[in-house]
């Protein structure tokens, strides 16, 4: 223990006892919070739903971290990995005063304590996990596995910050956590802060021992060294030897802090010296599950076993012995030494809290909106492409976005990061490497390109890490984009769920400031998987996303380069959302000029007069509406409209493109929902609508089922047919190709159905011919239908 | 190298060269497969979509494994972890003759070679990943991270089998793979087979070096030892020193095989001796990416760098030098020594293949249906519960299933496993522990319960491992169930995708025999998360699942104990499907007697006369239909019907319960789809339908949108409102509670809307009162509405 420290073991222990007392109180009591009278059954909650097991260890760690924060003025963020650790965070926040500052109805007196206890894990109260409601938390403790990735994300570009990340040994069995240890290969000791992992070996999960706690200690040490850390073991063998435990842990903490300083000092001097990749210190704390709780209950060992996981004394309502044991347990913390008569915390305990924002429950890093700076955006016009005629030239939407992101990175050198699972170049965002590198702390060889110790791009072959790092980065007040193959973003479905749920709750908490949105750029999508085939074809992430609260989620399907640019510009300015952007990486036809595109994105949906064949000034309904959403469906719809125009010049076809998918929903269903009148104007009240959609077709039905004309909407989309084949064959297999769409029009427009059997057969034949051509030679459909490029008339454009 | 081995280095090298030659040919050639004439541009495919980088290493390993298979008669399964490793599997399968046996159009001669080359990564051909189409594969190489979990799943209960699992160093960065190393804590050396992990350090992913390849070797060794393995390093520093590489790898393989035998011998003698947990041997093979390919192209290093990832010579169509270099490259394998004039493999090479089913491309373990035995099922009647009156008693559906699974385990001691993420008891399946234990190879303490070296239950806090192990277990011809909290099964969304895609392709391959279905038992569901709150509330897995092919997926929502039993019995007999079963773990009312339940499950949907108030013999349509799917919605619907019956005795209410969700879809959409006539009979042509559904409500619209009466279907379900609260409050928050449903009836039945404003207000008041009661005291709604239990009349039952 640092001899110059201001906090002594006794005071530290008093804090710990106070936190433990408050934790037990939360689990059990609805009255008599200070035990002024002997505990009675009616003081106890009717249902006991909390969890005790992990909490005393968390409280222990928290108390010790406070000491080093106070001693060194160190900025620290506390991340609670273990499940059901909520009571600890809440107890410490109350002790630090933050809880009352945040929730004034939970005062710092006896009435406040009663309220604090009662609300916990109670209907309408607060969760038993660290959650958005918990001051000082950026990590939901319900779904396990993401604490360490969040911790790394939080310290990127925060060189003065240390994230103390408690990892439960249950959580440590998850895949995402197992991968997260390797985050140290991506953390730049010079420009980033530090993570102090504290692996907390309680020994048990719900019902089983944990792998890491039962392996021989020598093996565990090898594992941690293999992960690139220098572990410091603190082992509590005798639960009663708390003074020894305090001394051991304090010493380990001091050693780790010194170790962190050493790694940082070495990296921060010029020129950098030392190894490529210094092992970072970490702590392995082995302490009994349910430490300081009942050693045995009804003759069975509880402390130190899985039986301490939930509520160690469950019979308090019916069993006087249990009730008595609970009272003894609570009194063992000597509340009279901790709380004054009125329930306020005694000064000598309260004084152990760090000052102001250094309190981990009050740190602005855990309420990132307080630190958020707007991104400086490049000029849109510098990146937009010139479009002389719609459908004349081909540009990759992702490549266009890449140039824009390059400039974002240049303008915001410490406030923005690009995350991806080894796919940033594959997704055509490689222009970013003109101004930055990929951060990499392992050996760099001469043959490597764009690798450096510092860099704005993080690439690791783990979608979980990309997502977890980005969440940590956003929740601490910065901006970022996650680019990913569309099919494999499903790997983080569940992480998305938890982040969307976090945002929903966060939005309703007035003290939580808005944070930057989580932006997905999904490419290498379902329609462009020529060589990867079926395993890479899955557009279902959109379906997954739209199950979450409308306030939180947005889905954009830019059909070309300029719309992609405008969508990107928009999304990077939004707050508290998840924006899903799906577009192609292959060059695709440009349809809209710079300002048209921006307007189209602002509207989210619109008629493309250049593609249709109605008189835009006519004021009459068309014969048929062709809707499209997505880059490939848009090409097919425009081409279908052209086929129809050539064959049936009198037919009035309207083409409606949807870039903001939520515009399809009604106003009551989504904030971006198009008013009924506008929707009806676009899609008519009664004309057939053939809608070509990027993903699974039923989503369009779901979004539009309350619309007047819904029964006439016929949707084509991906129906899980795929293989290793050409993009055009993919369109054919799923019946979203231009010929099929044109035939659909004939089938759905009554006046054509009876008269155009010949044309239909001709289209069928042409379809077969095109398929044969593209399939035999691996050629693109454009080679068949060169007319689209050559003959597009400038007069058509609007 | 085993001196008694029959295969010499020269022969082994010839096999390797042959496999490499065939791999390059697959990537490049559409003609001239034997290089009978100098290579011309027209011999080369128009689009070059294959990947070379990982393939020569895979071929190298495969050749060496063949040696030990032949030497020892060892049964081996080859698992290809690295992405785009398909050419290697295909090449070796052709060399072993299996490819031709499986696909007769790809003969063992020059024409066959041409076909073999052309089909690869070509429209309508075969994928570049190991895939269902690939003989000898159980692992799709497209989405990375699951190879090692599949390998462990494959060897459970196959004591004589070794799964040689090649893990790419890219794949090794994923979370699921990182967690998979710990599978050795669950593998019983006595009754299970062995996994031989071969970590293949090619050094690069698509565009980046890999973490494991760049860390210092001493650190990597610590990591592997920390994971519980004894690594044997084979490092190829000089790509030309192939003889040395052969000798080193052969020696390492012999050492590992001996090591496996040693661990097994120790575990298989009685009494067991030795350490709890012996380190298993494994190999770290460091070899150049694109080994034996072009060392440099256009002056840039290719072999040994990420540039070898895809197609090393991409300019062959336009650049004579590239074309020439390709020819040189292919000729470097000396095809004239490998193939006879007619393109058949020379005998001395062909003779290196192991015999018959020992060929890894022909092993029945990779075509598990060949090994599949039907499960022996316990008597249904022994587990069904007596139901004197519907809604009289409460039984936990999961507990009932647990008893059934217990007997399954007893009847099928080596053919069935139960997988779960530390939740088997929490999900109320604990009766299985009466007959088995949880397999666990780490230390076992006195305080532990139901832990043993051998056991039918596998519990690890990783949904990824549960899913991966089960997939491996099923694909090798066994049966199993994965029990999981409903919300967190989203963690394996993407793994489900890949398995469902695998099954779709597998079903169309006549040589692949049907395998047992993958059964999910999801509990601790959205409506019963009193203390876990919002993070644990997510019923969206069903939505995710129904996006996959109808042939493959089934969703069951058993409303009570007997229906759960009947669903379980059914699902365990199905093949080639994914069955999703969602039901509660809390005691819930029993509605149907044993035979009624079985019939109801067989029909999948039906009218519950006891709950409704129409005359079952009346033949007239009811005034309103109340539909329900899910245990909680069913209780609420029955209660709502009762409220209406009491208040409006003349109202004719029909209650329809749906247990097989796919019955809602029309016949053309799903094999289980109800014919239109039957649906219309149940739900009428024009009466209002109030449907209470377990999950997100729009799914019911999606499934029924083609139904005649769809416009009158009004769905209540989970709308992403939740928190830490009582089950009844959850129902209220999402407006699926009995009072709301009864009010919905008043709102939707025209004759009531105008006349029953008073009743509606009364229901509204009762609703508020019930809420207040349950919320204030944490009491269950049943306490309010005890009449449901007390007054249910036996005469109502059918």
Residues in chain B: 798
Nearest residue in B to A534, CA atom? B501
Give the containing element (helix H, strand E) for A579: strand A578-582
Residue B132's pLDDT is 96
Share of chain B above pLDDT 90, in %: 86
Residue A776's pLDDT is 67
Average pLDDT for B343-368: 97
Residue A306's pLDDT is 87
Q: Which residues on B lie below 8 Å from A532 (Cβ)?
A: 127-129, 142
Please say whether the beta carbons of A655 and A622 come within 8 A: no
Return the closest-CA partner of residue A61 out of A82, A44, A32, A47. Answer: A82
User: Would A453 be classed as within a structural domain?
Assistant: yes
Whether residue B225 lies within 8 A of chain A, CB to CB, comes out as yes
Average pLDDT for B735-753: 96
Q: Do A491 and A519 sit in the same domain of this protein? A: yes
If contacts are CB pairs under 8 Å, which of residues 154-213 in chain A contact chain B? Answer: 170-171, 173-182, 185, 205-211
* Helix, strand, coil percentages for chain A (3-state, nearest 5): 45, 15, 40
User: Would A179 be classed as within a structural domain?
Assistant: yes
Q: Which one is predicted more confidently, B142 or B683?
A: B683
Q: Do B331 and B453 sit in the same domain of this protein? A: no
Please say whether the beta carbons of B82 and B202 come within 8 A: yes
Q: Do B695 and B785 sit in the same domain of this protein? A: yes
User: Would B57 be classed as within a structural domain?
Assistant: yes
Substitution target in A173, A507, A775 with the highest count of B β-carbons within 10 Å is A173
Hey, are the CB atoms on A422 and B206 less than 8 Å from each other? yes
Whether residue A118 lies within 8 A of chain B, CB to CB, comes out as no
Return the closest-CA partner of residue A68 out of A132, A9, A6. Answer: A6
Hey, are the CB atoms on A228 and B215 less than 8 Å from each other? yes
Residue A449's pLDDT is 94
Hey, are the CB atoms on A177 and B177 less than 8 Å from each other? no
Return the closest-CA partner of residue A432 out of A414, A415, A455. Answer: A455
For residue A556, the SS3 value is strand
Please say whether the beta carbons of A626 and A634 come within 8 A: no
Q: Which of B554, B588, B622 is a domain's end point?
A: B588
Q: Do B31 and B128 sit in the same domain of this protein? A: yes
Judged by average pLDDT, the poorest of A294-298, A510-514, B666-670, B677-681 is B666-670
Give the containing element (helix H, strand E) for A679: helix A676-683
Cα–Cα distance, A464 to A665 (Å, whole number): 31
Residue B199's pLDDT is 98
Q: Do B574 and B644 sit in the same domain of this protein? A: no
Report residue B775's pLDDT band, with 50, 70 and 90 as the boundaries: confident
Cα–Cα distance, B413 to B226 (Å, whole number): 32
Hey, are the CB atoms on A447 and B305 less than 8 Å from each other? yes
Distance from CA of B245 to the nearest CA of A (A): 24
Cα–Cα distance, A234 to B653 (Å, whole number): 66
User: Would A368 be classed as within a structural domain?
Assistant: no
For residue B216, the SS3 value is coil
Return the closest-CA partner of residue A19 out of A483, A494, A424, A345. Answer: A345
User: Would B366 be classed as within a structural domain?
Assistant: no
Q: Do A36 and A117 sit in the same domain of this protein? A: yes
Cα–Cα distance, B341 to B657 (Å, whole number): 69
What is the domain-level CATH number for residue A712?
A: 3.40.50.920
Please say whether the beta carbons of A693 and A634 come within 8 A: no
Hey, are the CB atoms on A128 and B702 less than 8 Å from each other? no
User: Would A283 be classed as within a structural domain?
Assistant: yes
Distance from CA of B3 to the nearest CA of A (A): 35
User: Would B251 be classed as within a structural domain?
Assistant: yes
Residue B1's pLDDT is 44
Q: Which of A542, A563, A588 is a domain's end point?
A: A588
- Number of domains comprising chain B: 3
Cα–Cα distance, A197 to A165 (Å, whole number): 5
Hey, are the CB atoms on B142 and A729 less than 8 Å from each other? no
Place of tokens 């019923």: B539
Using CB atoms, pick whichever of B121, B497, B698 lies closest to residue A724: B121
Hey, are the CB atoms on B533 and A301 less than 8 Å from each other? no
Distance from CA of A227 to the nearest CA of B (A): 6
Return the closest-CA partner of residue A461 out of A442, A441, A484. Answer: A484
Q: Which residues on B lie below 8 Å from A438 (Cβ)?
A: 208
Q: What is the pLDDT of residues B90-129, one digit of tens each?
A: 999 999 999 999 999 999 999 999 999 999 988 888 988 9
**The two structure tokens encoding residue A318:** 């019916």
Report residue B175's pLDDT band, with 50, 70 and 90 as the boundaries: very high
Q: What are the two backbone dihedrals, phi and then psi, of residue B69, each rounded to the nearest 5 degrees? A: -60, -50
Angle at A623 between CA A617 and CA A627, to 5 degrees: 90
The overall longest dimension of chain A from CA atoms, in Å, is: 96
Return the closest-CA partner of residue B68 out of B258, B275, B245, B241. Answer: B258
Whether residue A227 lies within 8 A of chain B, CB to CB, comes out as yes
Q: Which of B563, B588, B613 is a domain's end point?
A: B588
What is the domain-level CATH number for residue B549?
A: 3.40.50.970
Angle at A664 between CA A659 and CA A666, to 5 degrees: 145
ipTM for the predicted complex comes to 0.96
Return the closest-CA partner of residue B82 out of B49, B130, B119, B117. Answer: B130
Range of the domain at B557: 380-588
Q: Do A50 and A195 sit in the same domain of this protein? A: yes
Average pLDDT for B349-378: 97
Hey, are the CB atoms on B535 and A225 less than 8 Å from each other? no
Cα–Cα distance, A230 to A106 (Å, whole number): 42
Low-confidence stretches of chain A (pLDDT beneath 50): 1-7, 786-798
Please say whether the beta carbons of B185 and B441 come within 8 A: yes
Q: Do A569 and A668 sit in the same domain of this protein? A: no
User: Would A498 be classed as within a structural domain?
Assistant: yes
Cα–Cα distance, A266 to A260 (Å, whole number): 10
Cα–Cα distance, B662 to A627 (Å, whole number): 29
Judged by average pLDDT, the poorest of A91-95, B18-22, B528-532 is B528-532
Pairs of CB atoms within 8 A across A/B:
342
Q: Do B258 and B179 sit in the same domain of this protein? A: yes
Q: Do A335 and A434 sit in the same domain of this protein? A: no
Hey, are the CB atoms on A426 and B224 less than 8 Å from each other? no
Residue B5's pLDDT is 43
Q: Do B191 and B327 sit in the same domain of this protein? A: yes
Residue A414's pLDDT is 92
Hey, are the CB atoms on A185 and B462 less than 8 Å from each other? no
Cα–Cα distance, B681 to B621 (Å, whole number): 9
Q: Which one is predicted more confidently, B47 or A595?
A: A595
Please say whether the beta carbons of B796 and B611 come within 8 A: yes
Residue B793's pLDDT is 41
Distance from CA of B35 to the nearest CA of A (A): 22
* Helix, strand, coil percentages for chain B (3-state, nearest 5): 45, 15, 40
Q: What are the two backbone dihedrals, phi and then psi, of residue B457, each rounded to the nearest 5 degrees? A: -105, 135
Q: Report chain A's C-alpha Rg in angstroms.
A: 30
Q: Do B635 and B563 sit in the same domain of this protein? A: no
Report residue B432's pLDDT band, with 50, 70 and 90 as the boundaries: very high
Whether residue A459 lies within 8 A of chain B, CB to CB, comes out as yes
- In B544-701, which ranges are E strands? 553-556, 578-582, 588-589, 605-607, 624-629, 653-658, 689-693
For residue A709, the SS3 value is coil
Return the exposure string of A760-793: e unless at least 16 CB atoms fall within 10 Å of the residue's CB, then b: bebbeebbeebbeebbeebbebbebbeebeeebe
Q: Which one is predicted more confidently, A410 or B549?
A: A410
Taking the CA of residue A583 as centre, how many other CA atoms within 13 Å lie in the half-sphere pointing to its CB? 35
Return the closest-CA partner of residue B1 out of B279, B351, B264, B245. Answer: B245
Substitution target in B427, B497, B670 with the highest count of A β-carbons within 10 Å is B497
Please say whether the beta carbons of A156 and A469 come within 8 A: yes
Substitution target in A229, A422, A430, A541 with the highest count of B β-carbons within 10 Å is A422
Substitution target in B211, B715, B718 with the highest count of A β-carbons within 10 Å is B211
Place of tokens 């301490």: A308
For residue A9, the SS3 value is helix
Angle, helices A86-95 vs A55-72, to 10°: value is 40
């Amino acid at each position: 223990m640092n001899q110059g420290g201001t906090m002594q073991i006794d005071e530290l222990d008093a804090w710990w006892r106070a936190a433990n007392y408050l934790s037990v109180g939360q689990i059990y009591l609805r009255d008599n919070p200070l035990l002024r009278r002997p505990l009675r059954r009616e003081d106890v909650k009717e249902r006991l739903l909390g969890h005790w097991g992990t909490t005393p260890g968390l409280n222990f760690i928290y108390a010790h971290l406070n000491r080093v924060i106070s001693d060194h003025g160190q900025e620290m963020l506390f991340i609670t990995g273990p499940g059901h650790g909520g009571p600890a965070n809440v107890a410490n926040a109350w002790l630090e005063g933050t809880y009352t500052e945040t929730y004034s109805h939970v005062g710092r007196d006896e009435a406040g304590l009663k309220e604090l206890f009662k609300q916990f894990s109670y209907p309408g109260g607060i969760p038993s996990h660290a959650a958005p409601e918990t001051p000082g938390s950026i990590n939901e403790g319900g779904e396990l596995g993401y604490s360490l990735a969040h911790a790394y994300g939080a310290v990127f570009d925060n060189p003065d910050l240390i994230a103390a990340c408690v990892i439960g040994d249950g959580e440590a069995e998850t895949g995402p956590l197992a991968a997260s240890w390797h985050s140290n290969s991506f953390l730049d000791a010079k420009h980033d802060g530090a993570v102090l992992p504290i692996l907390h070996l309680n020994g048990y999960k719900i019902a089983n021992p944990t792998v890491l706690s039962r392996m021989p200690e020598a093996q565990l040490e090898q594992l941690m060294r293999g992960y690139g850390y220098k572990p410091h073991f603190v082992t509590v063998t005798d639960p009663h030897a708390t003074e020894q435990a305090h001394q051991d842990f304090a010493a380990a903490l001091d050693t780790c802090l010194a170790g962190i300083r050493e790694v940082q000092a070495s990296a921060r001097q010029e020129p950098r010296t030392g190894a490529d990749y210094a092992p970072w210190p970490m702590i392995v704390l082995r302490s009994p599950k349910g430490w300081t709780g009942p050693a045995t209950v009804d003759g069975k060992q509880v402390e130190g076993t899985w039986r301490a996981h939930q509520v160690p004394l469950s019979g308090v309502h019916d069993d006087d012995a249990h009730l008595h044991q609970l009272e003894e347990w609570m009194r063992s913390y000597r509340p009279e030494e901790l709380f004054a008569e009125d329930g306020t915390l005694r000064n000598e305990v309260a004084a152990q809290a760090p000052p102001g924002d250094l309190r981990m429950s009050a740190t602005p890093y855990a309420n990132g909106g307080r630190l958020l700076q707007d991104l400086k955006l490049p000029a849109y016009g510098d990146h937009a492409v010139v479009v002389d005629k719609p459908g004349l030239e081909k540009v990759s939407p992702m490549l266009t976005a890449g140039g824009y992101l390059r400039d974002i990175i240049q303008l915001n050198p410490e406030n923005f990061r690009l995350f991806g699972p080894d796919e940033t170049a594959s997704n055509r965002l490689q222009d970013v490497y003109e101004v930055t590198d990929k951060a990499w702390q392992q050996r760099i060889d001469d043959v490597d390109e764009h690798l450096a110790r510092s860099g704005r791009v993080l690439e690791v072959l783990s979608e979980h890490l990309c997502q977890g790092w980005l969440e940590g980065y956003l929740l601490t007040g910065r901006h970022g984009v996650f680019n990913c193959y569309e099919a494999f973003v499903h790997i983080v479905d569940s992480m998305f769920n938890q982040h969307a749920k976090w945002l929903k709750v966060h939005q309703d908490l007035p003290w939580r400031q808005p944070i930057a949105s989580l932006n997905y750029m999904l490419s290498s999508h379902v329609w462009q998987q020529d060589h990867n085939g079926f395993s890479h074809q899955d557009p279902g992430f959109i379906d997954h996303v739209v199950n979450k609260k409308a306030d939180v989620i947005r889905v954009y399907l830019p059909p070309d380069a300029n719309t992609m640019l405008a969508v990107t510009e928009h999304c990077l300015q939004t707050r508290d959302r998840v924006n899903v952007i799906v577009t192609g990486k292959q060059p695709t036809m440009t349809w809209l000029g710079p300002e048209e595109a921006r307007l189209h994105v602002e509207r989210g949906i619109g008629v493309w007069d250049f593609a249709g064949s109605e008189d835009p000034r006519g004021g009459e309904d068309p014969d048929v509406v062709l809707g499209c959403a997505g880059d490939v469906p848009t090409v097919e719809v425009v081409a279908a409209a052209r086929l129809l125009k050539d064959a049936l010049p009198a037919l009035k076809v309207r083409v409606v493109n949807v870039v903001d998918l939520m515009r399809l929903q009604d106003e009551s269903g989504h904030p971006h929902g198009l008013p009924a009148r506008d929707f009806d104007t676009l899609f008519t009240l009664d004309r057939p609508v053939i809608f070509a959609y990027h993903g699974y077709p039923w989503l369009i039905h779901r979004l539009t089922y309350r619309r007047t004309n819904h029964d006439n909407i016929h949707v084509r989309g991906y129906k899980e047919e795929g293989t290793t084949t050409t993009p055009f064959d993919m369109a054919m297999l799923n019946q979203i190709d231009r010929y099929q769409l044109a035939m659909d029009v004939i089938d759905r427009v009554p006046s054509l159905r009876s008269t155009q059997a010949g044309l239909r057969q001709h289209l069928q034949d042409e379809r077969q011919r095109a398929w044969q051509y593209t399939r035999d030679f691996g050629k693109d459909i454009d080679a068949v239908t060169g007319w689209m490029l050559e003959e597009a008339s400038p007069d058509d454009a609007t």
